[in-house]
């Protein structure tokens, strides 16, 4: 009796373990449905406070349990859940360029960089050796050395070897840092079970299963370049540059082929006359609401009695069309001048020289691509001040009009950043109790705090743009000098905006920019279809195995089938315990394991049948059958396990998923085929009665 209890425990314990480990997966799926319902309810609320209340209620009731269940559940891979697959490349060449001393860079160095870039487009070689190869071929022939371009630091340790070592270390750490920054950003965004791993020497593979907002995550990943703080210069110089582009285009009509500029939509006028901006990117609370503001936004020239007025006597529509033909670039956006408390619309026809002061600009979403297309034309870009760039805000201006066409602010800012994001140690969103509005508190390290104090002290009253990939996430005004490295950014309209800025700031800075070189989106329906096909194929395979084993091995086959069921449960148990990810190839590994599991039982049963044919008793035949089949079972499983280890070590992504389930399945097969099967057989034995499908006359 005691022996039977031991055997029962051997069978029951794996089942209990499977239930314990797999329960969080079932629990998490239930909580996920409740979470989707809560998010839907929150979106239906008209008041932001009510939306937050719905989310907070869910978190209070289920938050901790949901997070705990998500941590313990079996993770589904990209091919099963749907999501995004992205390959990123770290721009090590940009790192080399910025490591060089700016005043030392010349045409020779730029030729080396250009040749290096060209080769790396089609090569997977490491960037530093390729750079050094072209440096030897081009620069050394002109008598240049690495010391000519790179800071040698301590003169006592000055050598080209030291410079090369520094570049190699920086390149390696740049990839590692980029990988970690991307991981932090994705984790803070809330994507479950991301797979982020280095691929080669310059690339990073990112798999984001179950992504619900693909566009937002795509934007988040694509803006993994360095975080920068740049001084905003929305002054008369940039306005004159815009006017110069107009004049250049009007004199050279058709020079750039098909017209880029279209009709200017009236949405800017609606926003200009109805919006009260809460953005931190401006110190002005109310946009222009007078007639001149509306006219400027619509690009309709004001009437004038001047004899030089080309619009005199024209109908309003004709005057508007004439204005657009004369101002192909500036008709894409609205410009406002801010002298003191007032805001005046700028009409480029009558501004001989833009007055000194502060300006701001607004552009319709439909015209952003055309606006950027103009600025990408080298001849036009050169007309802007050499030290300024133009960037569009990441979030649209909020408005009271029911329109799908958003309007964005854009700014001119200095090309060289005052500070980069590696000095940021922490950032956190909060609600300011005095204003009941969202703010983001930012902390810097000692070095950053010292620089930040000097920067803010020299720019009181100015805006400082917070940029990622030249996209402005915030452009707060400097109210006073900030010492100590603690700053507060105000003006976020809701928790979403505050959360995004917090993520951007927390992500820190990369030593080298990162760009997307490959991107694929797997739809949720495709993932569901993969799951359905995987489950159906597994059930079909399982049914065939069960039918065959019962038909051929009778009661012994039923034991093998029960052991197989425990085997599959154990595979999922181990996967859940190890935090493994189940992929479609993983399901294939499980199906393969089923065949290997019953193969072990077949070897054992055939040996038992042979011993029964020889006249042994049932108990003796079982003992001999397990003993003699053991070497063949272990040999075959060990060789398969070694194959799985090789696939797991050298493979990536889905190959690793297949290898992991295969190795786990082999280990569980050895346990169930040898231990569990024998326990089940011995429990059911009644004297000498037990059938392995052998002929009746051979049973003893």
Measured in residues, the chain has a length of: 700
Residues 646-666 have a mean pLDDT of 80
Q: Is the pLDDT of residue 242 over 70?
A: yes
- Between 90 and 297, whose confidence is greater? 90
Q: What is the pLDDT of residues 404-418, one digit of tens each?
A: 568 889 999 998 888
Q: Is the pLDDT of residue 71 over 50?
A: yes
Give the pLDDT score at 578: 74
- Rounded Cα gap, residues 257 and 259, in angstroms: 6
Q: Is the pLDDT of residue 232 over 90?
A: yes
Q: Is the pLDDT of residue 261 over 50?
A: no
Burial, 504: exposed, middle or buried (Cβ in 10 Å; 0-12, 13-18, 19+)? buried
Res. 218 pLDDT band, cuts 50 70 90 = low
Phi and psi dihedrals of 480, rounded to 5?
-155, 170
Res. 13 pLDDT band, cuts 50 70 90 = confident
SS3 201: coil
Give the pLDDT score at 496: 76
Compute how many other C-beta atoms are within 10 angstroms of the C-beta atom of residue 446: 11
Q: What is the pLDDT of residues 290-304, one digit of tens each?
A: 222 222 334 445 544
Residues 26-52 have a mean pLDDT of 76
Distances (CA, A) of 448 to 153, 178, 514: 21, 20, 23
Q: Mean pLDDT across the chain, nearest whole number?
A: 76
Percent of the chain with pLDDT over 70: 77
Give the pLDDT score at 230: 92
Tell me the H-state helices in 459-521: 495-506
- Rounded Cα gap, residues 287 and 344, in angstroms: 10
Radius of gyration for the chain, computed over Cα atoms and rounded to the nearest angstrom: 34
Q: Within 13 Å and on the Cβ side, how many CA atoms surround 100? A: 20
Token pair for 426: 């922490």
Give the pLDDT score at 509: 56
Give the pLDDT score at 384: 92
Residues 143-149 have a mean pLDDT of 86
Percent of the chain with pLDDT over 90: 6
Give the pLDDT score at 259: 44
Q: Is pTM beyond 0.85 here?
A: no
- Rounded Cα gap, residues 186 and 403, in angstroms: 31
Q: What is the pLDDT of residues 366-407, one digit of tens each?
A: 888 888 888 888 888 889 998 899 999 888 875 544 555 688
Residues 535-542 have a mean pLDDT of 78
């Amino acid at each position: 009796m005691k022996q039977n209890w031991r055997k029962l425990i051997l069978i029951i314990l794996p089942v209990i373990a499977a239930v314990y480990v797999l329960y969080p997966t079932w629990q998490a799926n239930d909580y996920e449905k409740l979470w989707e319902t809560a998010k839907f309810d929150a979106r239906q609320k008209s008041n932001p406070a009510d939306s937050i209340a719905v989310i907070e209620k869910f978190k209070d009731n289920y938050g901790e349990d949901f997070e705990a269940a998500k941590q313990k559940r079996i993770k589904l891979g990209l091919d099963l859940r749907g999501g995004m697959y992205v390959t990123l490349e770290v721009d090590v060449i940009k790192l080399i360029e910025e490591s060089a001393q700016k005043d030392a860079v010349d045409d020779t160095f730029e030729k080396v960089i250009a040749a290096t870039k060209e080769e790396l487009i089609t090569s997977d070689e490491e960037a530093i050796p390729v750079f050094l190869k072209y440096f030897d071929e081009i620069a050394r022939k002109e008598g240049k050395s690495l010391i000519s371009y790179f800071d040698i630091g301590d003169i006592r340790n000055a050598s080209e070897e030291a410079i090369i070592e520094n570049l190699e270390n920086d390149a390696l750490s740049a990839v590692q840092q980029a990988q970690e920054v991307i991981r932090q950003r994705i984790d803070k965004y809330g994507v479950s079970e991301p797979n982020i791993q280095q691929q080669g020497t310059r690339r990073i593979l990112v798999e984001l299963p179950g992504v619900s907002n693909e566009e937002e995550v795509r934007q988040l990943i694509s803006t993994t370049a360095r975080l920068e703080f740049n001084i905003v210069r929305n002054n008369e110089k940039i306005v004159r540059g815009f006017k110069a582009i107009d004049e250049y285009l009007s004199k050279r009509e058709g020079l750039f082929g098909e017209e880029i500029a279209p009709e200017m939509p009236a949405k800017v006028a609606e926003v200009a006359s109805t919006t009260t901006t809460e953005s931190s990117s401006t110190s002005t609370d109310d946009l222009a609401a007078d007639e001149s503001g509306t006219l400027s936004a619509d690009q309709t020239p004001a009437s004038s009695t001047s004899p030089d007025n080309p619009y005199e006597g024209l109908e309003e529509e004709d005057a508007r069309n004439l204005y657009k033909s004369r101002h192909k670039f500036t008709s894409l956006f609205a410009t406002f001048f801010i002298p003191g408390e007032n805001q005046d619309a700028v009409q480029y026809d009558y501004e001989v020289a833009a007055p000194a002061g502060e300006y701001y600009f607004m552009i319709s979403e439909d015209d952003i691509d055309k606006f950027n297309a103009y600025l990408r034309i080298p001849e036009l870009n050169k007309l802007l001040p050499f030290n300024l760039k133009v960037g569009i805000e990441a979030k649209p201006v909020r408005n009271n009009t029911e329109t799908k066409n958003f309007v964005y602010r854009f700014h001119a800012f200095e090309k060289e950043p005052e500070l980069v994001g590696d000095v940021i140690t922490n950032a956190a969103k909060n609600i300011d109790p005095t204003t009941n509005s969202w703010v983001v508190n930012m902390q810097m390290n000692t070095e950053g705090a010292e620089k930040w104090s000097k920067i803010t002290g020299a720019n009181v009253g100015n805006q400082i743009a917070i940029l990622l990939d030249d996209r402005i996430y915030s452009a707060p005004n400097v109210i006073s000098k900030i010492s100590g490295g603690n700053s507060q950014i105000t003006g976020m309209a809701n928790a979403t905006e505050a959360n995004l800025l917090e993520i951007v700031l927390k992500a820190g800075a990369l030593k080298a920019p990162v760009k997307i070189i490959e991107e694929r989106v797997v739809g949720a329906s495709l993932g569901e279809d993969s799951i359905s096909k995987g489950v159906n194929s597994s059930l079909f395979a399982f049914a065939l195995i069960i039918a065959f084993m019962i038909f051929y091995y009778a009661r012994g086959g039923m034991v093998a089938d029960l052991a197989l069921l425990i085997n599959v449960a154990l595979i999922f148990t181990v996967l859940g315990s190890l935090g493994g990810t189940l992929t479609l190839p993983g399901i294939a590994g499980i199906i393969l394991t089923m065949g290997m599991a019953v193969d072990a039982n077949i070897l054992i049963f055939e040996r038992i049948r042979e011993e029964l044919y020889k006249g042994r008793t049932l108990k003796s035949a079982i003992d001999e059958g397990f003993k003699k089949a053991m070497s063949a079972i272990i040999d075959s499983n060990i060789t398969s396990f070694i194959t799985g280890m090789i696939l797991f070590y050298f493979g990536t992504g889905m190959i690793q998923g297949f290898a992991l389930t295969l190795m786990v399945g082999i280990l569980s097969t050895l346990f169930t085929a040898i231990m569990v099967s024998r326990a089940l057989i011995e429990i059911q034995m009644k004297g000498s009665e037990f059938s392995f499908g052998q002929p009746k006359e051979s049973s003893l």
